[in-house]
Structure 1
Amino acid sequence: MQMLIEAGGSVAPVLKIGEHPQAQTYAFQPRAYAQAVWTGPGAQLDLSRLPLSAPKPALHAFAPGLHSLAVSTYPQKLTYASPEHFERFVREIGREDLLLSTNVDPVFGREVKESYRRYAKTIVHFADRRGKDRRIGLSREWVWQGDTFRLFDGKAPKVAQKARVICSIGPAPQAVTEQELHTNADGNIRPVLPQNGRCLINTVFLEYDDHAGHWTSDWVSLYFMAP
């Protein structure tokens, strides 16, 4: 998605599955989400509540400046091929501490099931870069605050959460930079961003639901173009 759009233009979003530039691309269907909210200066449109008979909306600017498209998915279920596959995933997201937790250790000896959701936000600018990012209302959400990015878990900033920052630069084949950071006491990270890089910040909340007897994960991302 183009991040700086001329005045009078519009956004035609697509769905990408994956963290890297070679991610798979799919059509964006706003009414397939639990939330799909287009927000700009002084206005907000809930795309997921449009009637099924309505055509797919073109996302136009409400005014010059910063706009965001924020979505949350319905829970989806996944069964891992083996406990080892799940352990590999746990290590990839930096939650090795869960492998040592005595109250959930027995699940690693049998079939591992997971319920996952995604909370994603994309920031674009129309005409210029005026305006500030703000909370849209997702249960878990990144907010761009100048040279820092704050992660919210509910109403509170999330401390000591591992995040990955991936930026692509230039035309294909694109150069890619990656950073791994942890949120500080204010829930912030301060990554080093390449100029005009197309950047994705992603973090994963992983928890065990004792009542349901399976794992839950929330994938929380923010996609934007660095100034």
Structure 2
Amino acid sequence: MPKLAHIVFAANIAFMPALPAAAHEFWIAPMDYTVSADAPLEARLRVGEDFEGTPMAYLPRNFSRFDLAIGDSVLPVEGRLGQHPAVVVEDHGSGLAVVLHETTPREVHYDDWDSFLRFAAHKDFTDIEARHQSRGLPMGGFRESYTRHAKSLIASGDGAGADRAFGLRTEFVALANPYTDSLSGGLPVLLLLDGAPRADAQVELFERAPDGTVTVTLHRTDADGRAVLPVDPDNEYLADAVSLMPVEPAEDGDPVWHTLWASLTFAVPAD
């Protein structure tokens, strides 16, 4: 079982009770971050905390997009209903493989304000109470909808190539190739929302060392939506960022907030 080394959170949330299940991260977990060009490329979908999560099956009703991109080719990830792992691609070629996944909307109900406030504090929505009250929303008994927007970088064959924006509603774009470029200064990333850079956004970085220790650190994008993530050789990474948007309910009981979760997984090869 992985060991959680430390979590760098603000003091006012470090010892808060557990967050709702919807506040858990969602990511693509490759079975191997480097594969031969003629070997199957396999990955699981996971949802959980601290880089440990429950695997999710291949269920078309749960996603609106599921693709594999290598070079100029972008093809749908196909599978059997209920398949584990969710990603099994036999014929994929050589280069930097980018797995893309967007979920269909789900909802969570908040019975009390404190539960939502804990989630908002965790994800750095510091003005949430003022925003909520300015809309005349109830302090309990409301709903939030959410979608997940995940990417994963896998080296197939020589691993050559570059990540790019693929039109996910929100997404990280790696501005260097972790398998072929020098990352001595960290991995530069760009965070997008609706195709535009997302400035001054919190990025949560999960780092898993070879011994299973997981370290979590917080970072911020600059005015251009960019951040540099510190990385070490032989480690695996999950970057996560959440956007919060108001929703006007059409009728009672409809969601009043919508969150969009961007995630990016990759590994840094050993020296």
Q: Following TM superposition, by how much is the alpha carbon of 1:118 offset from its aligned partner in structure 2, in angstroms?
A: 0.5
Is residue 2:262 matched to residue 1:224? no
Structure 2 match to 1:169: 209
User: How many Å separate the matches in 1 of 2:172 and 2:145?
Assistant: 21
User: How many Å separate the matches in 2 of 1:70 and 1:117?
Assistant: 14
Q: Which residue identity does 1:66 align to in structure 2? A: L
User: How many Å separate the matches in 1 of 2:226 and 2:60?
Assistant: 29
**Structure 1 residues 125 and 19: CA distance shift in structure 2, 3 A:** farther
CA offsets, 1:22-67, max 9 Å, x none?
211222335641001111123111237x898xxx873135332200
Is residue 2:217 matched to residue 1:179? yes
**Structure 1 residues 51 and 8: CA distance shift in structure 2, 3 A:** closer
User: How many Å separate the matches in 2 of 1:6 and 1:29?
Assistant: 27
The match for 1:194 among 219, 222, 232 is 232
For residues 37-52 of structure 1, the aligned pairs below 5 Å read 37-47=67-77
Unpaired runs of at least 5, structure 1: none
User: How many Å separate the matches in 2 of 1:30 and 1:222?
Assistant: 21
| Count of residues in correspondence between the two structures | 220
The match for 2:189 among 149, 164, 170 is 149
Is residue 2:102 matched to residue 1:72? yes
The match for 1:158 among 198, 207, 223 is 198
CA offsets, 1:185-218, max 9 Å, x none?
2211101112121100001111221344611111
User: How many Å separate the matches in 1 of 2:209 and 2:60?
Assistant: 28
The secondary structure found in structure 2 opposite 1:18 is: strand
Contact 1:61-1:126 at 8 Å conserved across structures: no
The match for 1:103 among 121, 129, 134 is 134
Q: Following TM superposition, by how much is the alpha carbon of 1:78 offset from its aligned partner in structure 2, in angstroms?
A: 1.0
Moved more, 128-137 or 144-153: 128-137
Unpaired runs of at least 5, structure 2: 1-29, 177-186
CA offsets, 1:145-194, max 9 Å, x none?
023010111121111111101010114xx111222111112211101112
Q: Following TM superposition, by how much is the alpha carbon of 1:107 offset from its aligned partner in structure 2, in angstroms?
A: 2.8
The secondary structure found in structure 1 opposite 2:111 is: coil
Is residue 2:193 matched to residue 1:137? no
The secondary structure found in structure 2 opposite 1:117 is: strand
User: How many Å separate the matches in 1 of 2:51 and 2:107?
Assistant: 25
User: How many Å separate the matches in 2 of 1:57 and 1:87?
Assistant: 35
Structure 1 match to 2:247: 209
Structure 2 match to 1:81: 111
For residues 6-21 of structure 1, the aligned pairs below 5 Å read 6-21=36-51
User: How many Å separate the matches in 1 of 2:210 and 2:265?
Assistant: 16
